[in-house]
Amino acid sequence: MNAMQKLLEFFQLEKLEENLYRAQSLDIGTGRIFGGQVLSQALAAAYRTVENKQAHSFHAYFLREGDVKKPVVFQVDRARNGRSFDNRRVVVIQHGRPILNLAASFQIEEHGYEHQVDAPKIPLPDELDEKPFLSTKQMNSLTPRMRRLMTTQGPFEFRFADDIDPFDLNKNEPIRQIWFKARHDVPDNQALHRQLMAFVSDFHLVATSTFPHPVSYLDPTLQIASLDHAMWFHHDINVNDWLLYDCFSPVASQGRGFAQGRVFTLDGRLVANTSQQGLIRQRDKARKPFVPQKK
């Protein structure tokens, strides 16, 4: 079973009762539930209660850290069924307490006015290599948890158009441009592709807000965690093809970093937008002094 097949198993929600579902948790190497997992599973639970419509947006708040060793329960509220739009609210529960609230809106296929911004001019994925972030020396300087996260090969391949060294504490522009696609074929199911887009959108986004500051998102003394996440779908998604994740952080303040992302196809079509706010603050006590290592 390849990495994508393993991931898709976590989208096979067990129906417990009407509007109530359960799923297992995935450890991507962090030892805790990955935000993208619970986002995508909550969207999958909402999809189970909708017919003949596709998700066009969702908004979510992360409330508590999830326990990767335990299953998660999804309670769906069918807030509205309309001719053109359906709305769902999902409460994600673990150990009897909510860990995420998500609201999603679904729409029938419609045609109307269209316009979009141009995609940025950057190297194409075939011109880039899938190279490791870090040298062996840098990798060995990380905590065991962070090293496990950085070395676990997931279901998506990433190719970076920029070459930002996460150990470089100099000021960098808060921009990150990444090509990504599924490592293995995903079935032709638009709902599934949008759920996977929700999953992968939680990688790399909020970390962009650390780039203008003298800190590395790999620093164990830095507390970084997602607070909320929103996504808008403009056209059908195909994660089997290369997609560009164009990330930008316009502001950070009061211990929070804010970042936005645009998702373009290889031929420049804007298919999705996303935004995320995350906690970025220094811990009072360092677990281990962070010493930047050169490549």
Among candidate residues 103, 4, 123, 116, the one with its CA nearest the CA of residue 45: 103
Cβ–Cβ < 8 Å for 62, 99:
yes
Q: Is 177 known to be catalytic?
A: no
Of the residues 226, 249, 275, 277, only one is catalytic, namely 226
Q: Is 129 known to be catalytic?
A: no
Among candidate residues 157, 162, 178, the one with its CA nearest the CA of residue 240: 157
What are φ and ψ of residue 137, in 5° steps?
Answer: -60, -45
Q: Is 276 known to be catalytic?
A: yes
Of the residues 25, 40, 249, 276, only one is catalytic, namely 276
Of the residues 86, 202, 219, 246, only one is catalytic, namely 202
Could you give the residue numbers annotated as active site? 202, 226, 276
